[in-house]
């Protein structure tokens, strides 16, 4: 069952929901969800789930779990905590986004504990704000809470996995082992010890994108080698 193809968003929801339930891994929760709504698991099916469905499905597999734990898991499954509501009343508003909306754009994660501030340590921040950034436009496309029971190296792996579709990470601080995991995932970490508002850092990044992005960033944006050379030559004039 777990091998059934899932979208990244649905897989993330299920992973977060499983971690919010005592003694429950993804395999156990998947068996309950499939018993509830069948395959494939879709956003529409998860949106229709109720707590009583989770308690009674699969011969009462989750019957012993508390109502509150199941409610938390249900919020994760429905995307309510994946997109930031009701995690924090001061969180910025997520904007609609479909792949391909912003050509030649990059995806940026910001480690945050408060609103739209970059004020989190990689290993302890409450969430990652996910922005899609082009030279013309910026959109906040997701807010990903870092709920996890992992510790040590496993926690770094989990958090790197949460943002492995991003190209840049802004973070107030990050340790060496964690930075190695982030870099291995293909993400460029940028430390901002003094923190600041995410939108300010994104605006500065936009200026770099619009003027003369470094080669690694230009490559991420899909620029050809010829275009990268042109950017460099124009910036030197």
- Determine, yes or no, domain membership for 121: yes
Residues in the chain: 237
Eight-state DSSP code of residue 47: H
Q: Are residues 72 and 166 in the same domain?
A: no
User: How confident is the model over 77-131, as pLDDT tens digits?
Assistant: 887 654 433 345 578 888 998 888 998 889 999 999 888 999 989 988 889 999 9
- Determine, yes or no, domain membership for 87: no
Q: What is the structure's pLDDT at 197?
A: 94
Mean pLDDT of 166-172: 94
Q: In sequence order, what are the beta bridge partners of 202?
A: none
Q: Are residues 179 and 223 in the same domain?
A: yes
Percentage of the chain beyond pLDDT 70 is: 84
Mean pLDDT of 199-213: 88
Mean pLDDT of 44-57: 91
Q: Are residues 69 and 114 in the same domain?
A: no
Q: Are residues 220 and 131 in the same domain?
A: yes
Could you tell me the residue range of the domain that residue 162 belongs to?
A: 106-233
Q: In sequence order, what are the beta bridge partners of 145?
A: 127
Q: Virtual CA dihedral for 156, 74, 8, 126, nearest 10 degrees?
A: -30
For residue 166, give the 3-state DSSP assignment.
Answer: coil
Q: Which of 70-79, 172-181, 194-203 has the lowest mean pLDDT?
A: 70-79
Mean pLDDT of 60-82: 83
| Pick from 68, 86, 85, 69: nearest CA to 29 | 69
- Determine, yes or no, domain membership for 38: yes
Q: What is the structure's pLDDT at 86?
A: 39
Q: Are residues 51 and 160 in the same domain?
A: no
| Pick from 91, 93, 81, 98: nearest CA to 15 | 81
Q: Which of 3-17, 132-146, 220-234 has the lowest mean pLDDT?
A: 220-234
Distant-in-sequence, close-in-space partners of 10: CB < 8 Å, separation ≥ 6: 41, 42, 43, 46
Q: Are residues 72 and 127 in the same domain?
A: no
Q: What is the structure's pLDDT at 79?
A: 75
Run of H or E including 109? strand 106-112
For residue 150, give the 3-state DSSP assignment.
Answer: coil
Q: Which of 3-17, 100-114, 137-151 has the lowest mean pLDDT?
A: 3-17
pLDDT mean across residues, the chain: 82
Strand 168-171 relative to strand 188-191, pairing: parallel
202: domain CATH number is 3.30.420.130
Which contacts of 223-228 are long-range, i.e. CB under 8 A and separated by 24 or more positions? 223/104
Alpha carbon of 41 to those of 2, 5, 26, 72, 79: distances in Å?
Answer: 11, 9, 13, 19, 13
């Amino acid at each position: 069952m777990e091998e059934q193809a899932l979208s990244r968003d649905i897989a993330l929801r299920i992973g977060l929901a499983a971690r919010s339930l005592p003694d429950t891994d993804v395999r156990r929760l998947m068996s309950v969800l499939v018993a509830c709504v069948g395959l494939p698991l879709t956003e529409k099916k998860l949106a229709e789930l109720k707590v009583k469905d989770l308690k009674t499905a699969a011969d009462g597999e989750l019957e012993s779990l508390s109502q509150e734990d199941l409610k938390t898991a249900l919020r994760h499954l429905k995307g309510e905590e994946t997109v930031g509501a009701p995690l924090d009343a001061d969180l910025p508003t997520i904007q609609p986004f479909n792949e391909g909306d912003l050509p030649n754009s990059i995806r940026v994660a910001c480690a945050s504990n408060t609103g739209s501030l970059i004020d989190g340590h990689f290993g302890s921040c409450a969430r990652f704000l996910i922005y899609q950034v082009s030279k013309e436009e910026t959109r906040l496309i997701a807010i990903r809470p870092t709920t996890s029971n992992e510790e040590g190296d496993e926690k770094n792996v989990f958090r790197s996995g949460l943002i492995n579709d991003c190209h840049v990470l802004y973070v107030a601080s990050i340790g060496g082992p964690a930075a190695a995991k982030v870099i291995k995932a293909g993400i460029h970490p940028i430390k901002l010890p003094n923190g600041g508002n995410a939108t300010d850092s994104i605006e500065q990044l936009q200026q770099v994108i619009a003027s003369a992005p470094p080669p690694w960033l230009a490559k991420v944006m899909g620029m050809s080698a010829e275009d990268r050379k042109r950017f460099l030559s124009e910036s030197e004039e």
